[in-house]
Chain A
Amino acid sequence: MIYMDNAATTKIRPEVYEAIEPYLKDLYANPSSIYTFAAKTAKDIEAARNTVADFLGAKSNEIYFTAGGSESDNWALKSVAFTMRNKGKHIITSTIEHHAILHTCEFLERAGYDITYVGVDEYGVIKLDELEAAIREDTILISVMYANNEIGSIQPIKEIGEIAHKHGVLFHTDAVQAYGHVDINVDEQNIDMLSASGHKINGPKGVGILYIRSAIKMEPLIHGGAQERGRRAGTLNAPGIIGFAKATELAKAELDQRNDYEIKLRDYIIKRITEEIPYTRLNGHPTDRLANNINISFRFIEGESLLILLDQKGICGSSGSACTSGSLDPSHVLLAIGLPHEIAHGSLRLTISEENTYEEADAVVDELKRIVERLRNMSPLYEDFVKENR
């Protein structure tokens, strides 16, 4: 098997697995309990919180553990909407957010909030002038993702935060794809809230964080016990939290080295595909993108067919095609950067890791060449194109 779907999820690192194991077996105490047996776990969780805070340039009491990126996104938006409802009911986000943001915004719209979706340029980077122009008296929050999950475009986070603060508006960023892959400093980058997820950085599934700047008033999303300083109820997920911190520690230590390798491999794959397969285009910015992200559209073919044929050769990738999402519309991100529907349908996302080799890259590209040719030979769109250009 060749796994190139690391934006979907990643393989747990052996070091992370080892760090978690004791908390799944012997150290099962509820860290909120009073006895000595629970004390070690409680202490280790606080150390984990420190590790995460340190990575973000935050204070440890600004880190809240959640059940993952989607919960963190939901919490940030719904809590700000609730606590600031007397100031205003206007939120600004982008057209290329993850559904954890977009569907939460749709929910808030049904609850009477007004949402402005700011567009992006051809590379999938938010238009800062449009963003600033969208700010109103009643704007309470700007939420823009750090890096896009489909096309890897990295957003001008510091500038967005500057604009938000200039107008006295809070700034949240969904950093699920960026956390552990880029250097983040919440103070320098004017970030008030940040969501991240464990399983995107070789950590466990079912754990994430929400960073919340200490001055911000928050309402819990999950009401109940007094965990997380009364802001997020639920028995602490000790194995998840320990694993999240271990994955963060490894990501931090290896960040530059891993990015260097991934960028070279990424660009090698992009070069081979776009040079050796005609009628293809790279989606997203050529250089200003996540080190692991490759997103390419192949004209005249449809993404699901491509994915199934790749799967039959043991290659795992993903697509922005409608057929993989169960709706008739292709990826909202590819449409937002201006791709016509039929080209958006024929897209492939490969997200590599430091474990992928050049041999694997060659095998994937060679297989892609055969599959794309096969699907084009079956495509009425290609037939028409060839006849028109004969």
Chain B
Amino acid sequence: MSQVLEYSEKVMDHFSNPRNVGEIENASGVGTVGNAKCGDIMRIFLDIEDNVIKDAKFKTFGCGAAVATSSIATEMIIGKTVEEALKLTNKAVMEALGGLPPVKVHCSLLAEEAVHAALWDYAQKNGLMIEGLEPPVADIEERE
């Protein structure tokens, strides 16, 4: 089936008009996950002040779903505390996008993992222990 038909309106909107594309200079935390072999790489930049995510940006190499999940994930964590952002799940990302085709579910896992990786980088840089935060897996496929 045509991919264009399989994507929800929300996915197409976030793909066509991605929010928060770009980089943050001297970011509080940066996380990169995925691999080029499988065709998806996500990088998320966080600007964190007083434990609150002031800004988030992303860069993604990947399909329409990969771009859309990174876009909505950044939107969902801006203004949240570090602990709240840590609770962002791939399910929540998928729900916010009005669902994903089954073959694209891994993109939402990648978005979740990219946020965790950026938070991990922030914690490492600042010598923080954040409950529930584990070292990121660079390659999401390894986890499945």
Contact = CB atoms under 8 A, between A and B. Distances in A.
A311 B23 contact: no
A328 B107 CA distance: 12
9 contacts: A300-B61, A305-B15, A308-B15, A323-B65, A323-B104, A326-B103, A342-B37, A378-B59, A383-B23
Given A302-B62, A308-B64, A381 B36 contact: yes
Contacts of B60: 378-380
Contact of B41 (A308, A377, A381): A381
**Category for how many chain B residues contact A:** 20 to 34
The binding surface of chain B is classed by DSSP as: mixed
Contacts of B40: 302
B19 to A, nearest CB: 12
B15 A301 contact: no
Contacts, number: 78
Given A328-B38, A330-B39, 11 more contacts: A302-B61, A308-B3, A308-B64, A312-B16, A328-B39, A345-B36, A378-B61, A380-B41, A380-B61, A381-B41, A381-B61
Interface of B: 3-4, 15-16, 18, 21, 23, 32, 36-43, 59-67, 103-104, 141
A308 B4 contact: yes
Nearest to B141: A328
B39 A345 contact: yes
B121 to A, nearest CB: 14
Contacts of A377: 21
Contact of B36 (A305, A323, A342): A342
Contacts of B21: 377-378
A379 B141 contact: no
A305 B23 contact: no
Contacts of B18: 378
Interface centre among A304, A326, A342, A383 (most CB of B within 10 A): A304
A383 B67 CA distance: 16
Interface string A300-330: 1110110111011000000001111010101
Contacts of B38: 322, 328, 341
Contacts of B42: 380
A383 B4 contact: no
Given A300-B61, A302-B61, A323-B3, A378 B41 contact: no
A322 B36 CA distance: 11
Contacts of A309: 16
A322 B61 CA distance: 13
B48 to A, nearest CB: 20
Which 6 residue pairs across A and B have the least CB separation, nearest first?
A342-B36, A323-B63, A304-B63, A380-B43, A341-B37, A380-B59
